[in-house]
């Protein structure tokens, strides 16, 4: 292939991987962020456009990425917020009737740098052994601004990268203004945008008028909108960096039903007195087995998170779901107020739909709380 530019990926521990530049070129020629891996076999566009990856460089473990191109319908946000992408091999040709452009063009258009030709098996094994860590990559030589990119400058950038712990990434991805979806629906839901995915909004808009609000919106502001329920969205980074969100949630508990996903799950747990732990390399993929404790059913789930609720850290809620790979708390339900959450992604996008019933659970919770059981029954078909 003509025009190939040699590039390096350097991790903060000094480990070096050789490859070739893809997509856009980062300002100054160097892209830096926390390096994580994702195990999905498809859905690369949804992964790359998920705002929960803000501050991170995404490594795809599947070796062949981009073969079916991209389409605007599959974007999960208005633009990607990830710092970059690492692949073994980027497809030279797209082949799918839905595609409108190839992945390399999409990356360049959105300003997302990439590096290909990387031994992603070796990289993944390294992250599994040592944990997610900062890294930096870029094409070797002179960058457009005159900066020289070499192994030493990449190592310096990787070492200087703070990662995601202790950084408020939510403020970088949340909406600046509130907006509404799904008019003429029986329920009214206020959805906090901590980095909300489009697929989640499509699920909610199927039964509710959804008012999406910025992450900093106060409880008083939300209650003044008179919602039937409040949704806490997914989002990037460390829940400890958004205490304003925890304060708002505490003001909502007991006043209105609450449902949270991913970061929203961690924030609800924190509001209920729980604590949060950072996982060594997180859960990123579309095939994580989760046991639903009420009946023992195992669901295959889509996941994307680096932090998790500490087991046994809260008395105000019971655990409802558990990850079968490592025992991580996957779901909670409050004991005294109408509120529940899950760590995994029931909306999928990409991934299996085993957990989509949780949106029906939310509708039933709102119906019970507001004396609208008949409405909830019509939406869910009465399924338990």
Active site residues: 262, 345, 347
Residue 195: its pLDDT value, please? 98
**Nearest residue to 193 (alpha-carbon basis) of 213, 218, 167:** 213
Residue 161 CA from chain centroid, whole number: 20
Task: Write out pLDDT tens, residues 59-96.
Answer: 999 999 999 999 999 999 999 999 999 999 999 899 99
Torsion of CA 271, 276, 281, 287, to 10 degrees: -50
> How far apart (Å, rounded) are the C-alpha atoms in residues 64 and 42?
10
The sign of the CA dihedral 201, 202, 203, 204 is: positive
Confidence of residue 183 (pLDDT cuts 50, 70, 90): confident
Confidence of residue 381 (pLDDT cuts 50, 70, 90): confident
Note if the bond before 101 is cis, omega within 30 degrees: no
Sequence-ordered alpha helix ranges (H) in 161-197: 170-173
The sign of the CA dihedral 65, 71, 73, 75 is: positive
How large a percentage of the chain has pLDDT more than 70?
A: 99
Confidence of residue 144 (pLDDT cuts 50, 70, 90): confident
> How far apart (Å, rounded) are the C-alpha atoms in residues 346 and 296?
17
DSSP state letter for 70: B
Confidence of residue 384 (pLDDT cuts 50, 70, 90): low
Residue 382: its pLDDT value, please? 67
Task: Write out pLDDT tens, residues 225-273.
Answer: 999 999 999 999 999 999 999 999 999 999 999 999 999 999 999 999 9
**Nearest residue to 116 (alpha-carbon basis) of 179, 40, 59:** 59
Q: Are 218 and 248 in contact (CB under 8 A)?
A: yes
Task: With a cut of 90, say whether residue 37 has pLDDT above it.
Answer: yes
Confidence of residue 145 (pLDDT cuts 50, 70, 90): confident
Q: What average pLDDT does range 345-368 have in this prediction?
A: 96
Confidence of residue 118 (pLDDT cuts 50, 70, 90): very high
Residue 362: its pLDDT value, please? 98
Task: Write out pLDDT tens, residues 165-175.
Answer: 899 999 999 99
Residue 2: its pLDDT value, please? 47
Torsion of CA 72, 76, 80, 85, to 10 degrees: -90
Asked whether the whole model's pTM tops 0.75, one would answer yes
Query: For residue 287, what are its two tokens?
Result: 């095939």
Q: Are 88 and 64 in contact (CB under 8 A)?
A: yes
Domains belonging to the chain, first-starting first, are: 6-160 (3.50.30.20), 170-380 (3.40.50.880)
């Amino acid at each position: 292939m003509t025009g190939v530019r040699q590039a390096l990926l350097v991790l903060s521990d000094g480990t070096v991987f050789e490859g070739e530049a893809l997509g856009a070129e980062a300002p100054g020629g160097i892209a830096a962020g926390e390096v994580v891996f994702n195990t999905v076999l498809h859905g690369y566009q949804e992964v790359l456009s998920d705002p929960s990856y803000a501050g991170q460089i995404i490594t795809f473990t599947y070796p062949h990425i981009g073969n079916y191109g991209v389409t605007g319908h599959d974007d999960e946000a208005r633009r990607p917020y990830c710092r970059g992408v690492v692949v073994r091999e980027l497809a030279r040709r797209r082949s799918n009737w839905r595609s409108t452009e190839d992945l390399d063009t999409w990356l360049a258009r959105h300003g997302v740098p990439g590096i290909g030709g990387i031994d992603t098996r070796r990289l993944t094994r390294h992250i599994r052994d040592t944990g997610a860590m900062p890294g930096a990559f870029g094409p070797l030589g002179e960058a457009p601004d005159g900066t020289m990119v070499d192994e030493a400058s990449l190592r310096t950038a990787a070492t200087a990268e703070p990662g995601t712990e202790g950084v408020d990434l939510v403020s970088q991805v949340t909406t600046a203004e509130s907006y509404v979806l799904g008019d003429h629906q029986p329920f009214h839901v206020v959805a906090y945008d901590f980095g909300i995915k489009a697929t989640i909004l499509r699920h909610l808009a199927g039964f509710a008028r959804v008012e999406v609000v910025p992450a900093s919106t106060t409880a008083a502001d939300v209650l003044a909108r008179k919602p039937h329920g409040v949704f806490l969205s997914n989002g990037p980074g460390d829940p400890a960096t958004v205490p304003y969100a925890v304060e708002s949630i505490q003001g909502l508990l007991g006043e209105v039903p609450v449902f949270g996903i991913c970061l929203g799950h961690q924030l609800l747990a924190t509001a209920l007195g729980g604590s949060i732990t950072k996982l060594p390399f997180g859960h990123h993929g579309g095939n994580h087995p989760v046991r639903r404790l009420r009946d023992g059913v195992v669901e295959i789930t889509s996941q994307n998170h680096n932090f998790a609720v500490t087991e046994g850290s809260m008395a105000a809620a019971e655990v409802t779901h558990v990850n079968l790979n490592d025992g991580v708390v996957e779901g909670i339900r409050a004991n005294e107020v109408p509120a529940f959450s899950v760590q995994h992604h029931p909306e999928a996008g990409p991934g299996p739909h085993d957990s989509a019933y949780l949106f029906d659970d939310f509708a039933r919770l709102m119906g019970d709380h507001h004396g609208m059981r008949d409405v909830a029954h019509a939406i869910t078909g009465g399924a338990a």
